[in-house]
Amino acid sequence: MFVLLASGVGIRAYRDLSRPEAWAYWKESYLAPRMTSALIPLADFDGSGHGRRALAISGEIGAATANWFRDRLNEGHLDAGDAVLLSSPGGDLNQAVIMGEIIRSRGLVTAVGVADGSGQVRPAYCASACVLVYAGGKIRYGVEGSMLGVHQFEATAPMRDPVADTQRVAGFLLNYMTKMGVSSAVVQAMSQNRDVRWLGTKEAAAMNLVTDPIRKP
């Protein structure tokens, strides 16, 4: 009986994990997260005269990154006003949106950069789906020299009607960005560029993607 039960469970597990998206989720959840994190104290990088704690995350946004990210925030006990420091080439669109929602619900701020040993923020880049995570910040700091890269997103599932599916994704992104207080010009820039278009701090601020430009230390 035990052998039969074990075989049944094994067969079901194999069937579940035989789907690429399920295997990717399982692998990232239990074996190899695609992002790394560090909880760091930030120096006075925004000119307020006060330091703050930050969760610095880097790497690719994978199939289970949102859960991983929530766990790291819980472990770090970040409060409203603390920061998420981003350095990422992008990745899974849906996971990025969930991460942005988590950031906004907790009142966290965002910035693109990496921190050195003294807590000073240095320039980095945040591209593709990473920009959606960045948009979740209640305040979105723009570090001089850091870059935000946008491009056209496509549906990841098999498409019956490519035009309709592309429009659906664009509408989804527009709704999300509007809710986050970002100009529709960002979504327009995404839809017009198959390759990554890099936005400097000034251009991103004009689109209200960056809300508080700051100078490089």
169-212: per-residue pLDDT in tens? Answer: 889 999 999 999 999 999 999 999 889 999 988 899 999 999 99
139-169: per-residue pLDDT in tens? Answer: 999 999 999 999 998 765 555 666 677 788 8
- pLDDT for the residue 42: 83
Task: State whether residue 63 is helix, strand or coil.
Answer: coil
Residue 45 reports pLDDT greater than 80? no
Say which residue, 89 or 158, is predicted with more confidence: 89
Residues forming a β-bridge with 142: 213
User: HEC string of 92-137?
Assistant: CHHHHHHHHHHHHHCCCEEEECEECCCCCEECCEEECCHHHHHHCC
- pLDDT for the residue 87: 98
56-86: per-residue pLDDT in tens? Answer: 999 999 999 999 999 999 999 999 999 999 9
Helix axes 2-17 and 20-30, enclosed angle (nearest 10)? 100
Residue 7 reports pLDDT greater than 60? no
Within the chain, all domains assigned CATH 3.90.226.10 are found at 35-149+201-214
In percent, how much of the chain has pLDDT > 70? 77
Confidence bin at 21 (pLDDT 50/70/90): low
Query: What is the side-by-side strand order in the sheet with 109-112?
Result: 35-42, 52-59, 83-87, 109-112, 140-143, 212-214
Residue 3 reports pLDDT greater than 50? no
H or E element: which one contains 142? strand 140-143
- pLDDT for the residue 73: 97
Distance of CA 215 to the CA centre of its chain: 23
Query: Backbone dihedral region of 113: left (phi > 0), alpha (psi from -120 to 50 degrees) or beta?
Result: left
Residue 2 reports pLDDT greater than 50? no
For range 107-118, the mean pLDDT: 91
Angle at 203 between CA 43 and CA 45, to 5 degrees: 5
- pLDDT for the residue 80: 94
User: Read out DSSP for 145-184?
Assistant: T-EEEE-----SSPPSSHHHHHHHHHHHHHHHHHHTT--H
CA pair distance 187, 207, nearest whole angstrom: 10
For the record, the structure tokens of 169 come out as: 């994704």
- pLDDT for the residue 103: 98
- pLDDT for the residue 78: 94
- pLDDT for the residue 215: 59
Confidence bin at 37 (pLDDT 50/70/90): very high
Nearest to 216 by CA among 115, 134, 133, 98: 115
* Domain 35-149+201-214: top CATH class: alpha beta
What pTM was estimated for this model as a whole? 0.83
Give residues with Cβ within 8 angstroms of 131, minimum separation 6.
Answer: 90, 148, 149, 150, 186, 209
